[in-house]
Amino acid sequence: MSLYVSKTSEVFDAIVVGSGITGGWAAKEFCEKGFKTLMIERGRVVEHQKDYIGENKAPWELPLRSKVDNLLIEQQYKIQKQCYAFSDTTKHFFGNDKELPYQTKEGTEFSWIRANQLGGKSLLWHRQSYRWSDHDFNANKLDGYGNDWPIRYKDLASWYAHVESHAGISGSTENLPQLPDSVYLPPFEMNQPEKFVKAKIEKHFDDRKMIIGRCAHLSQPEKHHLEQGRGPCMARNECHRGCSFGAYFSTQSSTLPAAVATGHLKIAPNSVVHSLIYDDKTQRVKGIRVIDNENLTQREYFAKVVFLCASTLGSTQILLNSKSRHFPNGLGNRSGVLGHYLMDHNYNAGSTGYIDGFEDEYYAGRRPTGIYVPNFNYTPDKSRGFLRGYALSGKAYRENWKHMQSADGLGVEFKNRLKHAGRWKFGLHAQGEMLPRFENQISLHSSLKDKWGIPQLEINCQYSDNEKRMMQSAAEESAKMLKVAGVKDIKSYVSHDAPGLAIHEVGTARMGNDPRESVLNGFNQCHDVKNLFVTDGSSFCSTAVQNPSLTFMALTVRAVDYAVKELKARRI
Amino acid sequence: MKENENQPSSFSKRRFVQGLSFIIGGTAASSLLSGNAFAHAISYQKSNDKLIREGKVLNSAEMAQLKKIAELIIPKTDTPSAADVDCHGFADNQLFHCYDKVQHQRIKKLLRKIALSSDDRFQIPFLKLKENLQYRLLNNVEQAKQEFLPEHRSDFKFLKYLIVFGYYTSEVGATQELSYQAVPGGYKGSVPYSEIGKGWGSLAYY
């Protein structure tokens, strides 16, 4: 029997909308609990290994040496090209902007990066994986921005461990109050200048640590990883092309094979969800209405429970477009907060410089992670001039021909200079928290639709003065840290890029204890519709400082566990 | 943009798409763009011809001049020169596909300026100049000296950027001039530089 379905009248136990990091986990967990599960994917099928068409290509084998043709960008990738991971070897994993229009409110900008295929952004993510702490879950309550998270660290701790063990997270034990340790595979090494900088920073600043970045890579796979068909990380750092070794966590490498192995999974690809089907009488969702991605015909799928894992903006767009007599402003939107409190991280500051010496030091391999300075502003302090905090990430590396591409010089002397590794460069770059604010929102455009007949999103999202003050501080503090480490020629920067490109968009269907001011309860269950769950980034009440994906995973497996118990108890 | 009407190897991509659209419809034609087939259809092939051909942006005289400049920037040592690995052909192809007409004109104007300067100063065409004079002239461009202005320096930096990019992403540049590891097999944080003896040619992002 085929894994893939198109039309079917089967009533599934669970429908999971989306196949990225969140959807993959939801499907795996449901399937392993014996639930007949239908995974809905709006785009095409991408098969592990076979469809990684950009992998294993040397630059000289690429017609434009990894650059992308102007005409193609103009026609299809005007927005997607802004993503750092966009190149000739990865472009097929990015959405076609021409077919995926959205609007931004006049005077605002938001870059919406799309990955509409099986595996979604799990193929393209940066793989940094950090637990949140109670400092993060408490933050809204302490300063009054946003609503209080309905959960605390203790609610998620065991679920973090559950996903970490399966996914494989590399990192070092640090015992930090603001950044709880994960279940780790061995950490990647720091290079010698990084060790030097770490020692200097930690000696000078009591409140600061520099650690190796925690990432979802099999630095040293365990037996159960090998049994999944995954192998050790080869340090190519070309992950976004897809990894046939399965060395980084993706739907294809990790959760999908586990779900498929149960025999309980079906996948409906090329199925663009138009809306959820709500039954007024039972006050439950019966299923979903989809438009075929290719031939634009409509079909429906049915299940006892629906999990929306369609990405932060994707899930909320579906809810907003699911209107009924009971829910004229979008399904589950009695509170009126659906679409509001959109957030992203802020990458707009940092410092770089050069480290003298270490001339006979080098490294081998391309490490797929960097170094990380955990948030040192995790306890509120009014004298700081801004609320919340930021982490810093970076690395030490030797400059190469690329950095000298336009340097002065000609002939043999120039060629010999470019042949050799240059000075050691080191940088620290901020990843700042963004406050939850009601006015940052998405809504359905009143008239414009996409080719599937779904109203386009209108995005209205801007950083506030708090974020700008925070970036100013990050620029100054990162420079101070480089200075104490003896870094030379320090250059700090504050930039003004709009939200979106961190690709950490969260919020718009937030959790909360109070149904009057939130869409979901503490188990990601819709307050108003008991058999509907939303477990992706849209459920977030704040951004914290950490990268969000590991928390998507933990929230999802916890929600599935809860939903299964509720279903068995016939409460939903 | 230069379009060569006769050579199938340098047909215009825009016309190709238009033609396809006519045959199979606009949506299907543009969806082909994302496929591998199209990339191969327009892919740049290294030219081994001794004869300098017209490029997609540059005419044959400009190509000959660019070839010489490529060789002067990255000459033959114990590894081939930039001209040996057809960096001039690469640069022309890259200009056509990845840069706009304004950038094309920057390169064409610069080449014209260098040619004129050689004629004026030495009464000899640039290609016939002795190598030391060619170097002196290019050095003047790079330093914005004598008849060369800061804008020429900046255009030369752009040209150099293309040649250098072409060289170190070529097989010769990445694997012979530099050290290349397609699959490193893991990361080591500390190895003596002297053991490797040259920079890595295998980078994660180009």
Mutate which: B42, B131, B169, B177, vs A, most A CBs within 10 A? B169
pTM of the model: 0.92
The answer as to whether B137 is a domain residue is yes
B144: its two tokens:
């914005």
Give a yes or no: residue B198 inside a domain: no
Select the residue of B73, B174, B187 nearest A59 (Cβ to Cβ).
B174
pLDDT at B39: 40
Residue B40, pLDDT above cutoff 50: no
In a domain, B196, yes or no: no
Same domain, B113 and B30: no
Q: Are strands A349-355 and A271-279 parallel, antiparallel or unpaired?
A: unpaired
Q: Is the pLDDT of residue B22 over 50?
A: no
Instruction: Verify that B62 and B129 share a domain, yes or no.
Output: yes
Of A63, A190, A422, the CB nearest to B189: A190
DSSP string, A437-501: -TTSEEEEEEEEE-TTSPEEEEEE----HHHHHHHHHHHHHHHHHHHHTT-EEEEEEE--PPTTT
Task: Indicate the average pLDDT of chain A.
Answer: 97
Instruction: Please answer yes or no on whether A366 and B204 come within 8 Å at the CB atom.
Output: yes
Same domain for B142 and B56?
Answer: yes
Give the range of the structural domain holding residue B74, as residue numbers without chain letter: 47-177
Q: Does residue A406 surpass a pLDDT of 90? A: no
The residue with greater pLDDT, A273 or B39, is A273
* B203 in a structural domain: no
Residue type, A519: V
Query: How many independent structural domains does chain B possess?
Result: 2
- Residues B24 and B63 occupy one common structural domain: no
Tell whether the model's pLDDT for residue A466 goes beyond 60.
Answer: yes
A394 CB burial (10 A radius; 0-12, 13-18, 19+): buried
Query: Which residues in chain A have their CB less than 8 angstroms from residue B169's CB?
Result: 59-60, 65-66
B49 touches chain A (CB under 8 A): no
- Statement: residue A192 has pLDDT above 60: yes
The answer on B153 and B59 residing in a single domain is yes
Query: Do B24 and B107 lie in a common domain?
Result: no
CA dist A167 and A125 (Å) reads 14
Q: Give the residue on A whose Cα is nearest the Cα of B30.
A: A75
Same domain, residue pair B107 and B20: no
Residue B197 located in a structural domain: no
Rounded percentage of chain A residues whose pLDDT exceeds 70: 100
Indicate the residue of B98, B191, B196 with minimum beta-carbon distance to A64. B98
Reply yes or no on whether the pLDDT at B38 is more than 90. Answer: no
- CB atoms near residue A411 (< 10 Å): 17
Rounded to whole angstroms, the Cα distance separating B114 from A495 reads: 38
Q: Is the pLDDT of residue A572 over 80?
A: yes
**End-to-end alpha-carbon separation of chain A, Å?**
30
- pLDDT of B4 over the 70 cut: no
Is the per-residue pLDDT at B206 higher than 80?
no
**Scanning every residue of chain A, which has its alpha carbon at the shortest distance from the alpha carbon of B138?**
A410
Pairs of CB atoms within 8 A across A/B: 188
Within this chain, do residues B91 and B170 fall inside the same structural domain, yes or no? yes
Residue of A nearest to B72 (CA): A411
DSSP letters for A330-355: STT-SSS-TTB--B--B--EEEEEEE
Q: Which pLDDT belongs to residue B204?
A: 83
B131 inside domain: yes
Both B128 and B59 in one domain: the answer is yes
pLDDT number for residue B53: 82
Same-domain check for residues B64 and B138: yes
- Is there a domain that residue B205 lies in? no
Residues B129 and B31 in one domain: no
pLDDT exceeds cutoff 50 at B41: no
Q: pLDDT tens across A353-367, in order?
A: 999 999 999 999 999
Are B51 and B128 members of one domain? yes
What is the per-residue pLDDT across A33-73, written as a single tens digit (0 to 9) for each? 999 999 999 999 999 999 999 999 999 999 999 999 999 99
Q: Does residue B153 fall inside a structural domain? A: yes
